[in-house]
Amino acid sequence: MIDRAAIRSALAVILAFALAVGADPVVRAAEPLRAYVADASGTSVSGMSSGGFMAVQFQVAFSNDVIGAGIVAGGPYYCSEGKIELALARCTGTWAGPPDPARLVAFAREAAVKDEIDPLENLARQRVLVFGGMFDTIVTPPVVAALAAFYREAGVPPERLAIRADLPAGHGFATQDFGSTCAATIPPFVNACGFDLAGAILQHIYGSLQPPAQAPAGRLVEFDQSEFLPDARAHGLDDTGLVYVPGPCEQDARRCRLHIVFHGCLQGRERVGDLFATRTGYNHWADSNGLIVLYPQAVATPRNPDGCWDWFGYDDPAFHVRSGRQMAAVKAMLDRIVAPGR
């Protein structure tokens, strides 16, 4: 069992450390999310843990809009089938057996036939990176293997599917040199592994990129998420989200592309401030490659005390399709960023 008192204590220390050493852009007061007129043809997603499951859902449901994904410690689409017992026993641990990729692809095809998600055939043109730590005891290696099998079953060609399951990492987002020891599974679930996972994800999706900036020079902006979902906090969506905008994208974003990053449980701003958004490495790559990075923020609810994304139906039985509350809210954020100015 997780010792929640110890987690709270560790989070307080980590947050104090992050605030003391932070040299990243200053977060400004919440404002309406701007219409940046970014390149709509270059949108991609990634996510960690519950955010990994959410990124898979979003990628599959809105595959018309997404060109690729990076999934960190996540599992197949609709893995939980809307049941918390399956989420725990099959999609994190596997004491009830691992997920069945063929069954879950069949669920996805049925949802596409009902026009609840975009056509599954779109996945064949996407580029996907799957990452799982060898020592991850929360989302275990068999679940990550089932995710890779799901993508193969759904038609992602082998040359477009990259699998990194060989790092001696615990449950965490791997960075070059920031965070806990690589094999650790402790908050804030960011691990110094000598490996730039954000860079690996973005380079796999987009191909050759310019080297990352030494230090991000753009703005990390707090924006009002509540306009995208009425009574947002009651449905697990924070009132405030984060978006990183490189300087050139502030002036003319038509050549800038959008990458959406879903944090994991216990990684939202209510728990660790902007640590996940500033210490995982995405902004360094964004600065030198014209990427706007959207960091939607989940929040704790009585049925979701750790601030996870809804990948098992804690808020909405339609959590996995386009009409799901959280899914539709993030899609509306995407549409705002790539929309013509209003």
Exactly one of 44, 49, 80, 180 is catalytic; which is it? 49
Q: Is 284 a catalytic residue?
A: no
**92/141 Cα distance (integer angstroms):** 9
Six token digits for residue 1:
């069992």
Catalytic residue at 288? no
CA distance 295 to 24: 15
Catalytic residue among 136, 196, 238, 315: 136
At 333, is the secondary structure helix, strand, or coil?
Answer: helix
Strands (E), 182-285: 190-192, 219-224, 240-245, 257-262
The tokens describing 188, both together, are 């804030």
Other CB atoms within a 10 A radius of the CB of residue 301 amount to 18
d(CA 9, CA 218): 32
Cα–Cα dist 162/24, whole Å? 30
Clarify whether 204 is annotated catalytic. Answer: no
The residue annotated as part of the active site, out of 44, 50, 65, 171, is 171
> Alpha carbon of 284 to those of 135, 158, 257, 277: distances in Å?
27, 29, 15, 11
- Strand pairing of 291-295 and 240-245? antiparallel
CA 192 to chain CA centroid, nearest Å: 19
* Catalytic annotation, residues: 49, 136, 171
